[in-house]
Copies of this chain bind each other. A is one copy, B any other.
């Protein structure tokens, strides 16, 4: 009996040790110190794969890897874990705290021309449940399925950004929501979605007009920001999950890149 119990315990110990190996991380997996061919060798083990996916995500967020069509297949599980198990929210929270620190430094109270620009998709509203059905970005872009999702008008608010939004509005900033969504087909539903998620009190929701269909987000958003500056607005901050939200012209005084490891908008 005692021997069987000890056998059981030994098995538990073995399982725990295997779990520890599987849970290898930046801190744990990197001891191997291999120097080249990471992408290839990363297929050889879970630790290597996570290590590659960490590198890949960092390179994406720092705008080194650009125009990537889909998440690398080997990073599907990694991106799911990142998005669903809390780290994504923590990353957002830290950036929003940084933005609020900057807001508190700048000016109080704002003039009527003092403005902020926020992107919509995966900045104010989350598409995480849609991307869950697309293997967290490993499946190719599917514009008609995305439209169907957006048409439901049920994209949930990203809570830390909703908090930022509310503070900006309460302080008296003019908040412009600037989205690449098509004005004609998604204008009404987007307005309702924002409303039902608590985005109330913004100055203007600006959607992509027919003239900008097929144009890059950098061109479209730069033109809109130029127009706002010509109207007399002073852009204090510009927040988006894509580099195309915060590149180009008339960017404002400071830009903030929210994480998004699921897709790239040119």
On A, residues with C-beta under 8 Å from B are 2-3, 5-6, 9-10, 12-13, 16-17, 19-20, 23-36, 38-39, 50-52, 54-56, 58-59, 61-65, 78, 81-82, 85-87, 89-91, 93-95, 97-98, 159-160, 255-257, 259
Instruction: Tell whether, in the assembled complex, residue A81 and residue B30 are in contact, meaning their CB atoms are under 8 Å apart.
Output: yes
Total copies of the chain: 2
Chain B residues near A59 (CB-CB < 8 A):
91, 94-95, 98
Please report whether the interface of chain A is mostly helix, strand, loop or mixed according to DSSP: helix
Question: What CA separation (Å) do A119 and B215 show in the bound complex?
Answer: 34
Per a CB cutoff under 8 Å, which of B9, B30, B39, B94 touches A94? Answer: B39
Task: Please name the residue on chain B nearest to A243 by beta carbon.
Answer: B62
A221 CB, nearest partner CB in chain B, Å: 18
Given A2-B2, A29-B86, A35-B89, 18 more contacts at CB 8 Å?
A: A2-B6, A6-B9, A9-B10, A23-B25, A25-B28, A30-B81, A30-B87, A32-B86, A33-B89, A35-B93, A38-B90, A39-B94, A39-B97, A55-B87, A56-B94, A63-B255, A63-B257, A65-B94
